[in-house]
Structure 1
Amino acid sequence: YATLSHSWGDPSHRPLTTTDQTLPRRQHGIEDEELPQTFRQAVHVCREIGIEYLWIDSLCIIQEQESQEDWAKEAPRMGLVYGNSRLTISAAAATNSTEGFFLERLGLVSWFCPVILFGQACYLSRYPTQEEQHNGDPGDLDWASNGLVLRGWILQEQVLSCRSIIFSKKGLIWRCPTLSTNEKYPLGIPHVPNISVDNHRLLHCIINDRMPFVPRDIEIDIYTSWYRIVEDFTSRNLTYEEDRLPAIAGIAKRFGETANDSYHAGLWRRDMVLGLLWHATGGSPIITNKSARAPSWSWASI
């Protein structure tokens, strides 16, 4: 199955959902014309690459329940849902479910076509030369410029997904543990140090057992990776502040299993002393968030 990573948008563009009232109808199927554009295009991607099932949060988790019973059961499992999917389709170009993410291609604008002279011969290169690859910003087709990455829930979808195909406003991007590529750099995006991206990759490798071993003497680096992820997460937006801990619970669960450590409201028992040294930056007055449902000593309380 594939998973869809998408922005719900503002309340006026609320995506198609499953509720207690619509559940019986949903279990019999959903007509194509009933799906909003973003969902319909995600179905098209799945059909084109031969994936039979698609998981969409607003349809696969019952919404608007007074008891929030289904949400309480499924929210902690979202890390497993994204971590075990064959592919995550990221609709980064769409700000809501009605816009769709199939945009007009940039065409040849994204391709270098250098002329290389060797003696009397002349060659045209379809791909950028090694020298030209490092000119300009290799991430200019990346999805950092898209609003989707500002959502708190999206972080664990980024970190836990084994493979992602990202439809950004500037082009198509592929990401997996071994390669990041886009239309400008089809053979691989040149490595440019980026704290956020590098920590996503490191944490993905740690929690998915993609490192041969994690020596005891670099344990501090594991926890540092967690703190960098927390910094990224707390800079993002959440519609409901009470989701502050649930929205990162999937990453925490996988991290705890790998580190063999116990998790306490955003901090780790074996690194509790360092974890308690967190502080807020930005200059704004610090206000305790009572709806966050976290103890005052946790970063999740503000």
Structure 2
Amino acid sequence: MAKFHFSRLRHELHSIFLNNWFLEDNQSLPTIGSASYFVEENSSSIQCHRQVKSWLEDCLENHSSCSSQDDCALPTRVVNVGLISDDDLKYQQPFLFEPSGASGRYVALSYCWGKNANTVTTTSETFQAHKQCIEMDSLPKTIQDAITITRSLRIPYIWIDALCIIQGDPSDWAREAGKMCHVYSSAVLTISASNASSSNEGIFGPQRFGAPPRPLSYCGNTVYVCQNVAREHNRFEVQMRMREPMPLNRRAWTLQEGVLSNRIVHYTSSELVWECNDRFLCECGFANMKIEMGDEISNRSIRQPELAREMKIDRKIAYQKWRDLVMVFMERQISVDDDRLAAFSGLARQFRRLLRAASGGAGSDQYIAGLWAGDLAHGMLWSVEDDWFRQSRDLEIEYRRPKSWRAPSWSWAAFEGPVEYAPLTRLESMIDVVEAEALPRTMYDEMGQVTSARLILNGTYCPGTNAMRSLCYFQHHPTSKWHLGVISLSSSLSWEY
């Protein structure tokens, strides 16, 4: 038996680790390094399926901070992936299933439809046929891959919006869009197709961190060596401005899908990444970390609002988290202008629970077209992001007004494009809210789209001139100094409803 010692080879760009390994005489394929730290060349490999299953089983069995493994009420519709008993090789065709209140486990998919994507959908015309069979080969690659992953986990159902919401039916869409909070927060796992910009591209693909084993001769034996490259990692939390945003992180709808999910596996261009309430793990192992209770960049308090007191989150902190979410959300693109508030309603529902918990259960706050009545003075101080700052982050979304009315002018939802909230930590409200209301478009989603809004405030204002185009913002000058904009009002106030 030969022993290889741990060594670290340094390079100006990265480090390579070789771990201890004992070479047994009866080993036909010895490897240097801990196998759990090797990144597969392609995420479609059996080992990748096993890794995801291992992460999920460990979380369900050992993470007390994550939701239990008990069955929950299934969504209105799910796709049965066609498992046949315990046979890993034989499956029947998937089909649409209406559980009618039954309980079970299911996976949810977070993905990009893409422009002009050949996405198979459930419509009023295909509904009955899909309840009988959905031909696997007819589905776009991303959905096929998601079903393959779900089968490998031995989970019977998956929720996919294109198949589980009746497309072209406004009533069904409104009803199911209002249930997004439940769909993603109750899923046992969310599969994140992070690197695919359309449903045709698929989830699986080559992984940049993957390195093929290379043969090495040692003492007459052939040893296979894999390199582990220590790389910089980014947290997948929404408050962070990701340096290399992947396609999924550019879409507005997928923000709440990620924040509300208790467990997510990200299929990235580099490696597999796991997130839950307890752990942040990656396939190469260099970014593995435990998420602590007071982690400021964790969204656990949103998913588990009952822990607000334990996490020392009061209403002031909660409102700041909301404004952070708004800024990230408004950086993201949306295909249908009218969907902006609907794509945020799941987060609003969950946030209402957080605000109630943060105040010790004493009542709830009123939600008004993207703003909270208890934070109205600060909530209305959003501004259009400075052109220089937006361009420096290479954002593809442009500032504009939607073609049709969707929100009152005093709400950030009335515009398209990145917005900013200045860090005014000592802001004191000088207004009284006399009347504030927003009428929901549908009874199915009272925190989604609105038909009208009204706001009457009582307070003192100072006549002035519009010295700067934003209410309050930081402007960059060539001298590399930052100047705080001033609040400036005209001689009278009027709101567009």
Indicate the residue corresponding to 1:236 in structure 2: 332
Q: How many residue pairs align between the two structures?
A: 274
CA distance in 2, matches of 1:159, 1:183: 21
Question: Does 1:168 pair with 2:268?
Answer: yes
Provide the secondary structure at the position in 1 that maps to 2:132. Answer: coil
CA distance in 1, matches of 2:244, 2:370: 25
- Displacement, 1:218? 3.3
Provide the secondary structure at the position in 2 that maps to 1:293. Answer: coil
CA distance in 2, matches of 1:23, 1:58: 12
- Displacement, 1:279? 1.3
Which of 147, 158, 176 lines up with 1:74 in the alignment? 176
- Asked if 2 retains the 8 angstrom alpha-carbon contact of 1:15 and 1:96, the reply is no
Letter in 2 for 1:8: W
- Displacement, 1:106? 4.4
Which of 139, 143, 146 lines up with 2:234 in the alignment? 139
- Asked if 1 retains the 8 angstrom alpha-carbon contact of 2:165 and 2:173, the reply is yes
Question: Does 1:97 pair with 2:97?
Answer: no
- Displacement, 1:144? 4.9
CA distance in 2, matches of 1:214, 1:249: 26
- Asked if 1 retains the 8 angstrom alpha-carbon contact of 2:302 and 2:350, the reply is no
Note the residue ranges of structure 2 that are not aligned, 5 or more in a row: 1-105, 214-224, 237-241, 357-364, 391-397, 416-497
Question: Does 1:253 pair with 2:349?
Answer: yes
- Displacement, 1:69? 1.4
Question: Does 1:6 pair with 2:111?
Answer: yes
CA distance in 1, matches of 2:324, 2:314: 16
Indicate the residue corresponding to 1:151 in structure 2: 251
Question: Could you report, residue by residue, the CA deviation over 1:7-31 in whole angstroms, capped at 9, with x for unpaired residues?
Answer: 10112x1411111111110111212
Which of 177, 180, 185 lines up with 2:277 in the alignment? 177
Task: Work out the percentage of aligned pairs sharing the same amino acid.
Answer: 33
Provide the secondary structure at the position in 2 that maps to 1:4. Answer: strand
- Asked if 1 retains the 8 angstrom alpha-carbon contact of 2:207 and 2:268, the reply is no
Structure with the bigger percentage of strand: 2
Kindly tell me: are residues 93 and 290 of structure 1, through their superposed partners in 2, closer, same or farther at Cα, counting changes over 3 Å?
Answer: closer
Provide the secondary structure at the position in 2 that maps to 1:145. Answer: coil
* Normalised TM-score (structure 1): 0.81
Provide the secondary structure at the position in 2 that maps to 1:27. Answer: helix
Which of 184, 188, 195 lines up with 2:288 in the alignment? 188
Larger relative contact order, structure 1 or 2 (CA cutoff 8 Å, min sep 6): 1
- Displacement, 1:219? 2.1
Kindly tell me: are residues 140 and 86 of structure 1, through their superposed partners in 2, closer, same or farther at Cα, counting changes over 3 Å?
Answer: closer
Provide the secondary structure at the position in 2 that maps to 1:99. Answer: coil
* Normalised TM-score (structure 2): 0.51
Kindly tell me: are residues 74 and 21 of structure 1, through their superposed partners in 2, closer, same or farther at Cα, counting changes over 3 Å?
Answer: same
Provide the secondary structure at the position in 2 that maps to 1:279. Answer: strand
Provide the secondary structure at the position in 1 that maps to 2:109. Answer: strand
- Asked if 2 retains the 8 angstrom alpha-carbon contact of 1:153 and 1:248, the reply is yes
Question: Could you report, residue by residue, the CA deviation over 1:70-115 in whole angstroms, capped at 9, with x for unpaired residues?
Answer: 111111111210111000001112221222111124465499xxxx
- Asked if 2 retains the 8 angstrom alpha-carbon contact of 1:110 and 1:183, the reply is no
Provide the secondary structure at the position in 1 that maps to 2:233. Answer: coil
Provide the secondary structure at the position in 2 that maps to 1:64. Answer: coil
Indicate the residue corresponding to 1:24 in structure 2: 128
Provide the secondary structure at the position in 1 that maps to 2:273. Answer: strand
CA distance in 1, matches of 2:281, 2:201: 25
- Displacement, 1:232? 0.1
CA distance in 2, matches of 1:217, 1:53: 36
Kindly tell me: are residues 39 and 267 of structure 1, through their superposed partners in 2, closer, same or farther at Cα, counting changes over 3 Å?
Answer: same
CA distance in 1, matches of 2:233, 2:209: 17
- Asked if 1 retains the 8 angstrom alpha-carbon contact of 2:210 and 2:270, the reply is no
Q: Which has the larger radius of gyration?
A: 2
Q: List structure 1 segments (4+ residues) > 4 angstroms apart after TM superposition.
A: 125-128, 140-144, 214-217, 284-287
CA distance in 1, matches of 2:278, 2:243: 18
Structure with the bigger percentage of helix: 1
- Displacement, 1:145? 3.4
Which of 397, 400, 404 lines up with 1:291 in the alignment? 404
Indicate the residue corresponding to 2:49 in structure 1: none
Moved more, 223-232 or 73-82: 73-82
CA distance in 1, matches of 2:383, 2:245: 27
CA distance in 2, matches of 1:62, 1:263: 28
CA distance in 1, matches of 2:355, 2:334: 27
Provide the secondary structure at the position in 1 that maps to 2:314. Answer: helix
- Asked if 2 retains the 8 angstrom alpha-carbon contact of 1:63 and 1:71, the reply is yes
Indicate the residue corresponding to 1:122 in structure 2: none
- Asked if 1 retains the 8 angstrom alpha-carbon contact of 2:142 and 2:201, the reply is yes
- Displacement, 1:179? 1.1
Indicate the residue corresponding to 1:211 in structure 2: 307
CA distance in 2, matches of 1:89, 1:107: 20
Question: Could you report, residue by residue, the CA deviation over 1:8-65 in whole angstroms, capped at 9, with x for unpaired residues?
Answer: 0112x14111111111101112122222211111111111111110000011011123
> Aligned-residue CA RMSD in angstroms?
3.1
